[in-house]
Chains A and B, each alone.
Chain A
Amino acid sequence: MSVQRQEIESIREGFAQSGYICNTHIATSIFLAQQLQKPILVEGPPGVGKTELAKATAEFLSLPLIRLQCYEGVDESKALYEWKYGKQLLYTQVLKEKLGDLMQGAEGLTESIARLHDFDDTFFSEDFLEPRPLLKALWEENGSVLLIDEIDKSDDEFEAFLLELLSDYQISIPELGTIKARSAPIVFLTSNNSREIGDALKRRCLHLYIPFPESELEQKIIAARVPEIDEGLRKQLVAFVQGLRGEDLKKHPAVSETIDWARTLMLLHANELDADLVRNTLNVLLKFQDDIEGIDGELNALVSKARGA
């Protein structure tokens, strides 16, 4: 096993200890992001643990997690910084009062202006800057994990605005100039593909696609998240969910739903799957009434198949 392979494996194990079970592919991506200092764009169906990955990374590296939730209309005043207007206005008031003292003894307009210039101007300075998530991440001394969640929900402008941050880990504030990261953060961007992400952004990122996990991996995840469940039920439950994903549904159950379902079954003290139990708890797995009704006919077959697994 090569050195790199070992490092990647150690990342994977580190994740496993904090309860995030993943495959080598995902671990490789964390390894690359650290080494190449590049942001990771994580895509995949909802509920496969895109956001969890960022959280797990933060825990694994024991760095603070700074999260920016994107939505339509998010702009730099909400993502990057805002001036403290109230304080700025007060400052001008105070300044006006002090002006008399400052100007005392000044002869003529030129000297007054010169004195004014000498006076320390803090109107646009970091004192009056209210940092938002992005700026906070750049200001962290020892690095941080920055999670820009659901970037596909934001507008194109915001995407363009992120480019400077993503490629150089710096941002420009017109009044102050360029602010560089004190220590480069590890950046995660997540997307549900509700909109195609621009090429410019993709080019600057590593691209990680997380699909629904395979049966074996999903079992491990359930074992880590719901440890009290016994092995037989776990196998049946995962097999059933995997079977469901093969069906024609509006929304396929994701890992988070499998975990919820496992917890539900534990609450009901179930020892094994049967059709009635599944029918009564199916609303935990499927979120559309159409899906629940549509799958009803095949429920028995799916359950018996899962029990056979």
Chain B
Amino acid sequence: MTQMLGNFIRALRASDVRVSISESIDAGRTAELVGFEDREVLKSALSQVLAKTDEDKYAFNGVFDRYFTFEKVESPAANDSTAQGESETTDDIPSEETTQADGPSEAESQGQGGQPGSGGGAGGQSEKADDATAQEAQNAQGSQDLLDLLERGDAVALQQALAEAGQNARIDRIRLFTQRGMYVRRIMEDMGLEGLELEIERASEENENRADHIRGLRDGLREQVRDYVERQLDLYTANAGQQLREEVLSRVRLTNVDRRDMRLMQGLVRKMAKRLVALNSRRKKKDIRGALNFRKTIRQNIAFDGLMFDIHWKQKKIDRPKLVAICDVSGSVSSYAHFLLMFLYSLQEVLPKVRAFAFSGELGEVTDLFKTQDLETAIGETLKIYGSGSTDYGRAFEEIERTVLDDIDHRTTVIVLGDGRSNNADPRADILKVVHARAKRVLWLNPEPKSMWGTGDSEMKSLSAYCDSAATCTSLKDLERVVSDILRKGQ
């Protein structure tokens, strides 16, 4: 039962439902409490324990329905007849009787939830046998059972056998669709394929019709096993592909990201911005104004006989960094700029005081654009308006001096995003010097590796002198590291 629930939780996690250890323990207690007999109650109960957001509930419903699929066939009568049938076939072979009796009864105790625990069954038996001949005999017996099962067309027993074989073949470890063939084979073997083939051979010597009949059954079984493996693959890897791609994307160089991965990337960037802000925006400073913290004041002043000597205030200031971001969007860095703008956009959603500027030749403020438009439009507009000129850092900095210098104070962090290539125009490093003197910090994120700095028309050597830190930033991981740094030291 634990195994079954454990696998179910694995399947849930594969579908991107976050299930913690304590929640799985709760799930175990819940399942014990409500039992597996009543599917509706079980579903309703487990959904309250395991799925705790809208998306989770949606995913949960899907996984639950796929995972506990055999509920329909459960009825005491069917169960009895299965047990009956099994014992009849095994009556003349005493050595098999115990195992066979185990199978159905165990499945029954589990309410036929679909995945009877390991142990029992023909496959398990054949593994245990060390004597080769005994094994052969049992294989033959297993195949006899299998054949019998197929000929009877007992769907319930077949599903049970299938689930059992799947358990033995560790189907819950399936990760890639290329593994399907392997699992189909393993499960077939576990169910006694070998014996079945022998049976076909034997039958073909005597009676060709009979052999064809068995072949038909075998192929039918293969279809079913394939179906089963498909379903399990679906169950356990629903989201693995997505996870893998996200993981890879966060490491790949920003300029090399495919256009079709953009959407995924957007989600990643937004997630990252949220996480960073959540991590870092919660520091508070004590203030010396506002409402009296009565409790603390009394507490502190008991020593002074209740005289209000040492006074405490309630107000606390949340210290959030002010951010001025200047982004180069000229042709040379445009694909890179796309992501930086995306990141700026996400930051501005979560931080209250972000001012964003874009330039290539002309510099302009895009804060309002970002606030009012959705991401696609905002970035598109920005690139359209400012992205056409050739880079001129000097003019951009002059514009900065004119418009925002007054707004830059000791709480402001200035970020410049660009490659520092000014087309041989004076980069006006002197303005950056003034900005540096006023601002809390100046950071420069450059998509070029450090070895390229100062080569050709790159002015990074002279500009980076006035930066608190200048770093190469080419992938999302880099970006995350740098920005987390800003927020942490920014306090």
A residues lining the B interface (CB < 8 Å): 1-2, 4-5, 8, 24-25, 28-29, 32, 35-36, 38, 40-41, 77, 82-83, 85, 88-89, 92, 123, 156, 199, 202-209
Contacts and interface: CB of A to CB of B under 8 A. Distances in A.
B295 interface: yes
Dominant secondary structure of chain B at its interface with chain A: helix
Contacts of A40: 48
Given A4-B41, A24-B40, A32-B30, A203 B295 contact: no
Contacts of A77: 295
B51 interface: yes
B374 interface: no
B29 A36 contact: yes
Nearest to B294: A85
B51 A207 contact: yes
A5 B41 contact: yes
Given A29-B48, A92-B302, A209 B20 contact: no
Nearest to A8: B41
Dominant secondary structure of chain A at its interface with chain B: helix
A32 B295 contact: no
Contacts of A89: 298, 306
13 contacts: A4-B41, A5-B38, A28-B45, A85-B298, A88-B298, A88-B302, A92-B302, A92-B306, A156-B282, A199-B18, A203-B20, A203-B23, A209-B54
B45 A83 contact: no
A204 B22 CA distance: 8
Contact of A92 (B35, B294, B295, B305): B305
A38 B38 contact: no
B230 interface: no
3 cross-chain pairs, A with B, having the tightest CB-CB distances, nearest first: A207-B52, A202-B52, A206-B48
Interface string B17-41: 0101011001001100111011011
A225 to B, nearest CB: 25
Contacts of A156: 282
B338 to A, nearest CB: 28
B156 interface: no
B49 interface: yes
B38 A36 contact: no
A4 B35 contact: yes
A203 B22 contact: yes
Most chain B beta-carbon neighbours within 10 Å: one of A92, A156, A202: A202
B455 interface: no
B48 A208 contact: yes
A85 B298 CA distance: 8
Contacts of B45: 28, 32
A224 B51 CA distance: 32
A36 B294 contact: no
B207 interface: no
Contact of B44 (A1, A25, A92): A25
A77 B18 CA distance: 34
A40 B52 CA distance: 11
B57 interface: yes
A207 B20 CA distance: 14
Contacts of B57: 209
Contacts of B37: 2
Nearest to A83: B295
Nearest to A26: B44
Contacts of B51: 207
A205 B44 CA distance: 15
Given A207-B52, A209-B54, A4 B33 contact: yes
A177 to B, nearest CB: 17
Contacts of B26: 36, 38
A5 B294 CA distance: 53
A78 to B, nearest CB: 11
A82 B295 CA distance: 8
